[in-house]
A = this chain, B = another copy of it.
């Protein structure tokens, strides 16, 4: 992060090549797919992938059970692409049979898009099952793997996926500023001329890399360098399996500690990914999100507001360069903050668990 690079110099071209080699290898895609990194946030790479791969005469089916599925719908509509939507409640996983029916009912659908792990809730969707049926019908599958890539195993040799989208700053533990898509080579090669945006055209971006190893437009060099270093650290940790184990332990320490404090998880454990945990607000007058957030922030812990459309909730991330001991310290902080909030509203019965 403290070194500067000439973005067209050999040293940086080598870093870019390492980045583009490491990413598909993580999902067994090195022989079938290519990595196309893009400046910007996760939403930029999702829009770029949809705009590049879904042509004006194609038709996209988006499977939605949270905000990030809805965002893909908004992107497709803004791009003026024909789009169909199948929706599930936020606490339910996508169901393959409804997808199957929708594809059979509308042969005009050419592409299907879904979110692997919905960051709205932390819900893990059944990617392999849906991928198999989409491929069986000869459709392309576009997967927002923003909050799963690097921690939840995806095997492109076993799971047919046309494009996998993610970013530098979630389970890969880099800094934000970069997205990437891992795209099936033939689909990408055939996508020239689709994208209505010069900046977001992943076909042009890929051809740029292939031509001279350079980025078309100035890359965030420190962000790229940090991501390459983060990928080396992922390998040193033991790869995706080891990272998943650490996140799983983080989640379990958090979930059991929160249960002991009286907080309830929003999701059924069967569909909960160890990425981000959504907790319902306690049904108690002492709880208000703002002072709860502030009390934890003062103790060095940043949590997230909820994103549910109908229930009050907050979220705690389980990912990043943190381990179970950090979550034990977090639980101590939560206990303190809950105690302070309860003391501030003395007429309210305390959560008994907090007093033991």
Chain A, residues 141-167, CB within 8 Å of chain B (1/0): the string is: 000000000000000000000000001
Q: Which of A38-46, A184-192, A245-253, A256-264 faces chain B?
A: A38-46
- Complex CA distance for A12 and B1, rounded to whole angstroms: 19
Question: By the criterion CB–CB under 8 Å, are A304 and B8 in contact?
Answer: yes
Most chain B CB atoms below 10 A, which of A75, A302, A305: A302
Interface residues in A1-18 by Cβ distance below 8 A to B read 1-2, 4, 6-10
Question: By the criterion CB–CB under 8 Å, are B302 and A6 in contact?
Answer: yes
Q: Does A30 contact B (CB under 8 A)?
A: no
Question: By the criterion CB–CB under 8 Å, are B198 and A200 in contact?
Answer: no
A87 surroundings in chain B (CB, below 8 A): none
A42 surroundings in chain B (CB, below 8 A): 217-218
- Complex CA distance for A204 and B6, rounded to whole angstroms: 33
Given A9-B302, A222-B222, check contact A198 B43 (CB 8 Å). Answer: yes
Given A176-B219, A177-B177, check contact A40 B80 (CB 8 Å). Answer: no
A71 surroundings in chain B (CB, below 8 A): 198
Question: By the criterion CB–CB under 8 Å, are A175 and B43 in contact?
Answer: no
Residue in chain B with minimal CB distance to A297: B9
Question: By the criterion CB–CB under 8 Å, are B221 and A47 in contact?
Answer: no
Question: By the criterion CB–CB under 8 Å, are B217 and A44 in contact?
Answer: yes
A51 surroundings in chain B (CB, below 8 A): 197
Question: By the criterion CB–CB under 8 Å, are B74 and A198 in contact?
Answer: yes
A297 surroundings in chain B (CB, below 8 A): 9-10
Q: Does A291 contact B (CB under 8 A)?
A: no
Most chain B CB atoms below 10 A, which of A43, A167, A305: A43
Main secondary structure of the interface of A (DSSP, over half): loop
Question: By the criterion CB–CB under 8 Å, are A199 and B200 in contact?
Answer: yes
Question: By the criterion CB–CB under 8 Å, are B302 and A223 in contact?
Answer: no
Chain A, residues 213-234, CB within 8 Å of chain B (1/0): the string is: 0001111111100000000000
Interface residues in A37-82 by Cβ distance below 8 A to B read 39-44, 47-48, 51, 71, 74-75, 78-80
Question: By the criterion CB–CB under 8 Å, are A39 and B218 in contact?
Answer: no
Q: Does A108 contact B (CB under 8 A)?
A: no
- Complex CA distance for A221 and B6, rounded to whole angstroms: 21
Residue in chain B with minimal CB distance to A301: B6
Q: Does A169 contact B (CB under 8 A)?
A: yes
- Complex CA distance for A144 and B147, rounded to whole angstroms: 36
Q: Does A196 contact B (CB under 8 A)?
A: yes
- Complex CA distance for A42 and B40, rounded to whole angstroms: 12
- Complex CA distance for A43 and B167, rounded to whole angstroms: 20
A200 surroundings in chain B (CB, below 8 A): 197, 199-200
Question: By the criterion CB–CB under 8 Å, are A39 and B177 in contact?
Answer: yes
Interface residues of A (CB under 8 A from B): 1-2, 4, 6-10, 39-44, 47-48, 51, 71, 74-75, 78-80, 167, 169, 175-177, 196-201, 216-223, 297, 302, 304-305
Sort A-B residue pairs by CB-CB distance and give the 6 closest, nearest first.
Answer: A177-B220, A6-B302, A41-B217, A1-B1, A39-B40, A41-B218
Given A41-B220, A47-B197, A177-B177: 16 more A-B contacts, CB < 8 Å? A1-B2, A8-B304, A39-B44, A41-B217, A41-B219, A42-B217, A43-B216, A48-B199, A78-B196, A80-B196, A176-B221, A176-B222, A196-B196, A197-B200, A222-B222, A222-B223
